[in-house]
């Protein structure tokens, strides 16, 4: 198992299963009550507790205060001990405790370890062909493939979309499903690294010269990150690149995002082929 983990085999399998299941949900062969069967017509919107931007500022202020009040010399010593323990393979818990007591942050403790262990970067490998394979609705897929092929004939290249995960949001299984499905429909799909900043996402969109940026948001960052990426695109001279949003977006936020300039929003329960068609509408395909 350890070897297969190293080779990311379980992760790939999970993603493959997710893409297949999505195809079955989209066709209604797998039933999820309320999502693709027995939907409620006039569902009363859930009230969502919103965490405001101020919370972040408060946290930052607290952190600044802690760093000011603590004995920074002691912190540094404790952190150096951690780095040394990593080098000599000593008990890490024993050296972490004094660091925590001296009020070192988790981030600082990680940095101290990173010096020796280096940073783990998950390689993003993406499966392809799975969604189309599982989907029995080949007519729909063929019509999407025709649309992307016609777009290429008309404009000289395939519709190109950057799928981006921004901010502290590590949930990338969904975005991989979208990537593999869109590629199956004939899109050129750029996959961004995790934890991108809006600046980085905008720059990548520009360098790769995509038509659309698809922001995948599953950790409630959309109200900050989507307007920021739209603004960044504008700042970097690319306001013609359209932005769409997908993921867990409460219906109450749709208007806010549209006003901020999002061209389409694909909330929970969106059928992927439908999302692809609407994405193509935006760029006039």
Footprint on this chain of another protein (rule: CB under 8 A)? 118, 121, 123-126, 128-129, 132, 145, 148-149, 152-153, 155-158, 179-180, 182-194, 200, 203-204, 206-209, 236-238, 240
- d(CA 101, CA 115) in angstroms, rounded, equals 21
Report yes or no: 186 and 144 within 8 Å, Cβ to Cβ. yes
Strands 212-217 and 242-247: parallel
**Helix (H/G/I), strand (E/B), else coil: 1:** coil
Residue that has been written with the tokens 């109200």 in this structure:
223
* Nearer to another protein among residue 202 and residue 220 (C-beta): 202
Q: How far is the CB of 184 from another protein (least distance, A)?
A: 5
* Nearer to another protein among residue 75 and residue 167 (C-beta): 167
Q: How far is the CB of 29 from another protein (least distance, A)?
A: 21
Report yes or no: 210 and 164 within 8 Å, Cβ to Cβ. no
- d(CA 272, CA 285) in angstroms, rounded, equals 17
Half-sphere CA count of 170, side-chain side, radius 13 A: 2
* Nearer to another protein among residue 45 and residue 156 (C-beta): 156
Report yes or no: 201 and 192 within 8 Å, Cβ to Cβ. yes
Q: How far is the CB of 280 from another protein (least distance, A)?
A: 12
Q: How far is the CB of 20 from another protein (least distance, A)?
A: 16
* Nearer to another protein among residue 20 and residue 223 (C-beta): 20
Q: How far is the CB of 179 from another protein (least distance, A)?
A: 6
Give residues with Cβ within 8 angstroms of 221, minimum separation 6.
166, 167, 168, 169
Alpha carbon 188 to chain centroid distance?
18
* Nearer to another protein among residue 65 and residue 208 (C-beta): 208
* Nearer to another protein among residue 30 and residue 231 (C-beta): 231
Q: How far is the CB of 281 from another protein (least distance, A)?
A: 17
């Amino acid at each position: 198992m350890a070897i297969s983990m190293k080779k990311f085999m379980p992760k790939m399998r999970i993603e493959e299963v997710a893409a297949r299941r999505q195809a079955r949900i989209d066709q209604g062969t797998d039933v999820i009550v309320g999502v693709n069967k027995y939907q409620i017509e006039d569902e009363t919107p859930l009230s969502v507790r919103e965490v405001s931007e101020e919370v972040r500022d408060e946290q930052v202020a607290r952190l600044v205060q802690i760093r000011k009040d603590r004995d920074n010399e002691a912190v540094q010593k404790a952190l150096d001990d951690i780095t040394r323990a990593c080098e000599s393979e000593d008990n890490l818990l024993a050296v972490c405790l004094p660091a925590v007591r001296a009020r070192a942050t988790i981030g600082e403790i990680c940095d101290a370890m990173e010096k020796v262990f280096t940073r783990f970067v998950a390689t993003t490998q993406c499966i392809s062909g799975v969604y189309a394979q599982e989907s029995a609705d080949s007519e729909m897929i063929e019509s999407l493939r025709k649309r992307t092929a016609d777009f290429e004939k008309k404009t000289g290249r395939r519709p190109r979309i950057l799928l981006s995960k921004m901010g502290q949001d590590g949930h990338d299984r969904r975005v991989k499903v979208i990537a593999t499905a869109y590629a199956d429909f004939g899109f050129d799909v750029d996959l961004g690294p995790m934890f991108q900043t809006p600046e980085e996402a905008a720059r990548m969109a520009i360098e790769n010269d995509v038509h659309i940026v698809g922001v995948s948001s599953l950790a409630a960052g959309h109200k900050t990150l989507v307007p920021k990426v739209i603004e960044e695109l504008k700042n970097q001279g690319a306001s013609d690149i359209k932005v769409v949003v997908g993921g867990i977006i409460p219906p109450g936020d749709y208007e806010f995002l549209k006003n901020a300039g999002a061209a389409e929003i694909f909330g929970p329960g969106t059928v992927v082929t439908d999302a692809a068609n609407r994405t193509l509408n935006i760029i006039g395909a």
